[in-house]
């Protein structure tokens, strides 16, 4: 088969996979939102509604139609960007989500950067000194990261670094008197304040962000360093590393220049996956730090029994998560020449 055609088929089948997964996600939220509650009408009109009102809402929700038709309507609405209206803020859910998403994205991106910058060297060191003390030490650090409840670590972090030591600022994105000073351009407080030249606010934002970002970073570090370790262990035992050493390459060059370069390809997948994990982890972290992001939005909507907002948030994070997964798949193929050569 010639190349362009094969590429076309590859991209086509990839798009179909993405589409099926997204429809599956929509089916799940549809199921949770419409099918699970005993009576979706009652949850809107309340117990004391007259039969007329009940009937009206019943028809408005389209509950008289068969289930597949309801799902079809639901999909159409989603594609038009209609996630319903939030009961608590009485704004369209999509507007709310777009409002809160940049803060989450900013926090988890910085968390990811911390996780990669620390996690990859840790994993490499762990593999290089396999079964020596650095390996054991780093393994314990990773295991603790796997085992500790992230929301508890957030609370303890606040207690120690904010209350006892006073090194960082407390919950929230900015000190109260800075809120609303900077015009919202991108939604990311660091970029916005830098654009406006408000360096005082920039510094304040950093001192608020550093603790939650470090915690998220630690959370992803556990995963990234573990995966780096196992990939590097595999690479370091290969013959090309031995060859490089025999030809007189320095240890640093053999490890960083040869082995790590080959390990980088699977690591891209790992990093993309942990980015998705961070978006999810930020739900709990945000509630601890009153961070004005999606996680906090979902959390407060839960208590207002605002299912549209909860499901909308779930959908948005789910879509980003799925796209990241799929992106990592594509990156893997694009970076690794072997997976191109031998693709069926």
Partner 1 sequence: MSVTPDLVDDPKRAVRAARWAEFKVFTRRFMRNPLGVLGLVIVVLLLLCAAFAPLLATHDPYLPSLADRLAPPSATYWLGADELGRDIYSRIVYGSQLTLLIVALVIVTSAPIGLIIGAVSGTVGGWVDVIFMRITDVFLAIPKLLLALAFVAALGPGITNAALAITLTAWPPYARLARAEALVVRNSDYVNAVRLAGASEFRIIVFHVIPMCLSSVIVRMTFDMAGIILTAAGLGFIGLGAQPPLPEWGAMISTGRKFIFDQWWVATVPGIAIFTVSLGFNLLGDAMRDLLDPHLRQRK
- The residue from 1, 68, 131, 163 that contacts partner 1 (CB under 8 A) is 163
Are the C-beta atoms of residues 254 and 124 closer than 8 Å to each other?
no
Spatial distance between the Cα atoms of 77 and 52, rounded to a whole number of angstroms: 26
Asked if 284 is part of the footprint of partner 1 (rule: CB under 8 A), the reply reads: yes
Asked if 46 is part of the footprint of partner 1 (rule: CB under 8 A), the reply reads: no
- The residue from 29, 235, 274, 296 that contacts partner 1 (CB under 8 A) is 29
Would you tell me how many other CB atoms lie within 10 Å of the CB of residue 218? Answer: 22
Closest distance to partner 1 from the beta carbon of 336 (Å): 21
Closest distance to partner 1 from the beta carbon of 39 (Å): 12
Question: In 3D, which of 314, 289, 310, 291 has the Cα closest to residue 301?
Answer: 310
Using the contact rule CB under 8 A, the part of the chain among 68-76, 86-94, 199-207, 319-327 near partner 1 is 319-327
Q: Within 13 Å and on the Cβ side, how many CA atoms surround 190?
A: 13
Lookup: tokens for 81 = 């960007």
The one-character DSSP state at 33 is I
- Nearer of residues 29 and 173 to partner 1, judged by Cβ: 29
How many residues bind partner 1, per CB under 8 A? 48
Closest distance to partner 1 from the beta carbon of 6 (Å): 22
Spatial distance between the Cα atoms of 213 and 105, rounded to a whole number of angstroms: 11
- Nearer of residues 90 and 147 to partner 1, judged by Cβ: 147
- The H or E element spanning position 189 is helix 189-195
- The residue from 30, 298, 308, 328 that contacts partner 1 (CB under 8 A) is 298
3-class SS of residue 248? coil
- The H or E element spanning position 328 is helix 307-335
Residues of this chain that interact with partner 1 (CB under 8 A) are 20-21, 24-25, 27-29, 32-33, 36-37, 143-144, 146-153, 155-156, 158-159, 163, 276-277, 279-280, 283-284, 287-288, 298-299, 302-303, 307, 310-311, 313-314, 317-318, 321-322, 325
């Amino acid at each position: 088969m010639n190349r362009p055609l094969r590429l076309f088929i590859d991209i086509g089948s990839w798009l179909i996979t993405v589409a099926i997964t997204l429809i599956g996600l929509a089916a799940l939220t549809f199921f949770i939102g419409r099918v699970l509650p005993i009576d979706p009408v009652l949850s809107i009109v309340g117990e004391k509604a007259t039969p007329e009102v009940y009937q009206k809402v019943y028809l408005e929700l389209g509950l008289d139609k068969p289930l597949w038709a309801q799902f079809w309507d639901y999909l159409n609405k989603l594609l038009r960007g209609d996630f319903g209206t939030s009961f608590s803020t009485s704004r369209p859910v999509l507007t709310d989500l777009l409002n809160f998403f940049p803060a989450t994205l900013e926090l988890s991106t910085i968390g990811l950067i911390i996780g990669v910058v620390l996690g990859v060297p840790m994993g490499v060191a762990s593999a290089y000194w396999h079964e020596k003390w650095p390996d054991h030490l780093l393994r314990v650090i990773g295991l603790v990261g796997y085992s500790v409840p992230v929301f508890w670590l957030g609370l303890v972090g606040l207690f120690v670094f904010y209350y006892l030591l006073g090194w960082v600022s407390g919950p929230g994105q900015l000190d109260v008197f800075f809120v609303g000073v900077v015009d919202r351009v991108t939604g990311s407080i660091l970029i916005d304040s830098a654009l406006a030249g408000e360096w005082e606010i920039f510094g304040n934002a950093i001192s608020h962000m550093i603790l939650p970002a470090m915690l998220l970073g630690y959370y992803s570090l556990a995963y990234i360093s573990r995966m780096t370790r196992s990939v590097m262990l595999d690479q370091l035992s290969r013959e090309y590393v031995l060859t490089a050493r025999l030809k007189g390459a320095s240890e640093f060059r053999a490890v960083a220049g040869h082995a790590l370069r080959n390990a980088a390809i699977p690591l891209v997948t790992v990093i993309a996956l942990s980015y998705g994990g961070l978006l999810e982890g930020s739900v709990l972290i945000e509630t601890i730090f009153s961070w004005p992001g999606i996680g906090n939005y979902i959390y407060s909507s839960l208590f207002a029994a605002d299912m549209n907002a909860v499901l909308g948030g779930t959908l948005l994070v789910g879509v980003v998560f799925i796209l990241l997964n799929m992106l990592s798949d594509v990156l893997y193929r694009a970076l690794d020449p072997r997976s191109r050569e031998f693709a069926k």
